[in-house]
Homo-oligomer: A and B are copies of this chain.
Amino acid sequence: MEPDTRSRILDAAEKLLVQHGLEATTLRMITAAAQANLAAVNYHFGSKEALIEAVFRRRLTWLNEQRIAALDAFEAEAKGAPLKPRQIVEAFFGVAIRMAADRNGGQTFMRLLGRTYTEPTDFVRTFLAEEYAEVIARFKAAFFKALPDVPQEEFLWRFHFMMGALSYAISGADALRLLGPIDDSDPDALYARLMSFLIGGLRAPLPALLPAIQSRPVRKPRAKRAA
């Protein structure tokens, strides 16, 4: 084993956390995989929670810096004009999916991250919230400027949906095997596919929210509930 104990533990924890989840991954599994002593986790990190936080912070900080850097580049290029929605999507989701394509740990981490959004452990959620605060604010502002016609609430929901699509795109074959055999080995193809889908969803016509408008007189469906 080349790297030092601390790094080996981080790598092993990353792999095992995405496999078994935050609470079901044991320190004994981690230290065994890292070829370290059980007590090494508490020596180097202090506790299991602190280790998990270190696993996230190691890559998440860098990821969000990359996102902001990409946004900065587009905005510098635009010279004050609103960005195209495609550029903003690229800066946020493109960076993420490229990191997910990085076979050297990034892929594992992004799957872990996507999995964690829907796994609301208290201490992880508060930690994620603070780690995301800046990048969320920046991208919200950019989107509002680019799409002034879209109501704020509507956009937030679409952003949320896009995060879901990204999460599933990254978790890839794990959940996808439900649908049948699929090849997820080509990151470029996945990138192109997700981008196309996201922008299609983002630019979709605004839904008619008023019930009066929604009940269009199309031909009668069977037992369709009012919605």
A residues whose Cβ falls under 8 Å from a Cβ of B: 19-24, 73-74, 76-77, 94, 98, 114-115, 117-120, 125, 128-129, 132, 136, 140, 153-154, 156-169, 171, 174-180, 182-183, 186, 188-211, 213-214, 221-223, 225, 227
The residue that A23 contacts in the complex, of B21, B140, B162, B223, with Cβ under 8 A, is: B21
If A165-B162, A179-B156 touch, whether A192 touches B227 (CB-CB below 8 Å) is yes
The residue that A136 contacts in the complex, of B153, B179, B203, B208, with Cβ under 8 A, is: B179
> Is B197 in contact with A161, judged by CB distance below 8 angstroms?
yes
Number of copies: 2
CB distance from A178 to the nearest CB of B (A): 6
> Is A196 in contact with B204, judged by CB distance below 8 angstroms?
yes
Chain B residues, Cβ within 8 Å of A169 = 157, 160-161, 164
Most buried by B among A156, A198, A201: A201
> Is B180 in contact with A163, judged by CB distance below 8 angstroms?
no
Mostly helix, strand, loop or mixed at chain A's interface?
Answer: helix
Closest 10 CB pairs of A and B: A200-B204, A164-B168, A23-B24, A192-B207, A201-B201, A196-B207, A161-B165, A164-B164, A73-B222, A192-B227
If A118-B115, A209-B192 touch, whether A163 touches B156 (CB-CB below 8 Å) is no
Give the docked Cα–Cα distance between A127 and B154 (Å). 36
Chain B residues, Cβ within 8 Å of A174 = 118, 120
A194, closest chain B residue (CB): B161
> Can you pick out 13 interface pairs between chain A and chain B where the beta carbons lie within 8 Å of each other?
A21-B24, A21-B119, A73-B223, A74-B221, A77-B221, A98-B227, A159-B179, A196-B204, A196-B225, A197-B201, A199-B204, A200-B203, A200-B205
> Is A168 in contact with B207, judged by CB distance below 8 angstroms?
no
> Is A119 in contact with B120, judged by CB distance below 8 angstroms?
no
Give the docked Cα–Cα distance between A210 and B196 (Å). 14
> Is A132 in contact with B178, judged by CB distance below 8 angstroms?
yes
